[in-house]
Amino acid sequence: MPILSRPALVEHLVRTRIAGDVATPRDNNLSHYRKLANGDRHYWLGLELGDRWTDEQDVLAVMAERCGVNDDPAHRSGQDTIDPELTVDGLDRMAARLRKAAAGKQRVLFATGHPGALIDAHSRVAAALRAAGCDIVRIPGGLTADEGYVVQFADVAVFERGATLWHTHSPEPMNAILDGLEREGEPRPDLVVADHGWAGRAGQRGIDSVGYADCNDPALFIGEAEGTMQVAIPLDDHVIDPRSYEPLTAYLLDAAGLTV
């Protein structure tokens, strides 16, 4: 696939609604910000935020700065946005961390709570890092969490229940992997590339964690602001056609100096 220039990638992100005017409505965003501020751990995505983020307006300010949502607290419904320039900035930051992983031939774990949209994007990056000499973590067998199983397809850890891959925000699948590796005497990852609670819990447990986050997932942006997460890339994490992420992935790999 041809590598898009930064302006061309920005145009692609807006056209496919990965960024720009995104599908997630404003009232949904604000509801999630409020629930995080009220201490609902489902919205903490595996991070431990204590009592540091109890004001919804503080959460909104972080999201405006790091994601590009509308910063007007009076804007309560209708359209909301992700700044595509911030998306590309995040890709560049992630690329720098991937270069470090490749240079050090590090041990890297990939995981996603959005298997219907992001598994291919994660798998392509895993293949590129393996080609560069990295050790892509193979998770232990038989792991369970949240009344389901933690399994791995195409080098990407996912959550399965009832013979179906599930969308999940839970940090428990990541706990299961890290605890399972410890039980088996395997070294933990040097880097986790993920999203949702998979990414947040890895960062909370002291592992370098980078990943993707939607405009209604404020915890990972707060984690980056506090230094628990290394990178949170703002984007719509489930557009209808997962092939829309291919130019984004190609740009990321090129910026990291990686090829498949």
Which helix (H) or strand (E) segment is 221 a member of? Answer: helix 218-226
State pLDDT tens for residues 37-55. 999 999 999 999 999 999 9
Token pair listed for 39:
């201490």
What percentage of the chain reaches a pLDDT higher than 90?
Answer: 98
Sequence ranges of the chain with CATH classification 3.40.50 = 84-255
CB 215 within 8 Å of CB 29: yes
pLDDT 10s digits, 74-95: 999 999 999 999 999 999 999 9
Residues found in the chain: 260
The Cα 19–Cα 68 span in angstroms is 9
| Average pLDDT over all residues of the chain | 97
Give me the pLDDT at residue 1, please. Answer: 75
> How many angstroms separate the CA atoms of 250 and 5, rounded?
11
pLDDT at residue number 171: 98
Domain 84-255 has CATH 3.90.550: no
Look at residue 260 in the predicted model and tell me its pLDDT: 64
Q: Which of 82, 15, 3 shows the shortest CA–CA distance to 248? A: 3
81 backbone dihedrals φ, ψ, rounded to 5°:
-135, 160
Confidence of residue 151 (pLDDT cuts 50, 70, 90): very high
d(CA 110, CA 194): 6
- The predicted-structure confidence for 156-192, as pLDDT tens digits, reads as follows 999 999 999 999 999 999 999 999 999 999 999 999 9
Q: What are the tens digits of pLDDT across the range 185-243?
A: 999 999 999 999 999 999 999 999 999 999 999 999 999 999 999 999 999 999 999 99
What pLDDT score was predicted for residue 259? 83
Residue 26 pLDDT exceeds 90: yes
